[in-house]
Amino acid sequence: MESLCYFHFKLSNHFLIRKWFFYFHFFHIKRIFLKGVNAIFNSVRELHLISNGTMPMDQLREILKEIHPYATRIHLREKQKTARELFQTVELLAKENIPLSKIIINDRVDVAFVTSAAGVQLAYHSLEAAMVKKFFPQLKLGCSIHSFEEGQKAIADGADYVLFGHVFPSKSKPGKPPKGIEELTKLTKLDIPVIAIGGITAENTPQVIGTGVKGIAVMSGILDASDPLAAIKAYTNV
């Protein structure tokens, strides 16, 4: 009788242990799965790096050689450069094996076309987006916008994505009030990928990504950093 009771006790314990292990593994796997899902939705989907127009090209080249694998797009925003100088800049970057498929030229459709760059970023003073899309359909077309209405127009004109900002106070826009997270959230309701720009840091990136944007665009947060490689990794590892 004692041996039977002992067997029953041992068997019960065996099932309890198996049950405990089942629940432990179930909740552990669930936690890992949810953590992975959160990481996907809260991580940076696209990171657009924008040149500041003041950095010497040799310095920019050296930085981009090291950090370009972490950038989705590299925007050459060089307003003071001539078409010839921009062309030479793209050639310089291409020689360093920086993919042309990542390079976006600000404003200059002609340079984007002849260099076979990925695309062009249009501002309010640029050619009409609809015209660019009609004659240069191979170029990825981005439009810089500052309102929901401008976003609607960009869609109608055939833009592939919009760059919206500035979201937070920015050194490049002194004295101008930021658009804010609420306005950015409204923009994400449009049927077009939205890239947020302006005052975005590694710390506030999760808040920006949480609005549903396609990605972020950064200038000084990376290029002005003492260690650009560490800075861009901080953005991509949030």
CATH code of the region 44-236? 3.20.20.70
Owner of token pair 């800075």: 231
Interatomic CA distance for residues 136 and 127, integer angstroms? 12
Note the pTM of the prediction, 2 decimals: 0.81
- Is 28 one of the catalytic residues? no
pLDDT in tens, 146-201: 999 999 999 999 999 999 999 999 877 777 899 999 999 999 999 999 999 999 99
Are 164 and 179 in contact by the 8 Å Cβ rule? The answer is yes
Q: Measured between alpha carbons, how far is residue 189 from residues 39, 47, 108 in Å?
A: 22, 20, 29
User: Choosing from 48, 68, 75, 166, which is the catalytic residue?
Assistant: 166
pLDDT in tens, 15-46: 555 555 455 444 444 444 433 434 444 567 89
Interatomic CA distance for residues 44 and 188, integer angstroms? 15
pLDDT in tens, 46-102: 999 999 999 999 999 999 999 999 999 999 999 999 999 999 999 999 999 999 999
Domain boundaries, the chain: 1-42, 44-236
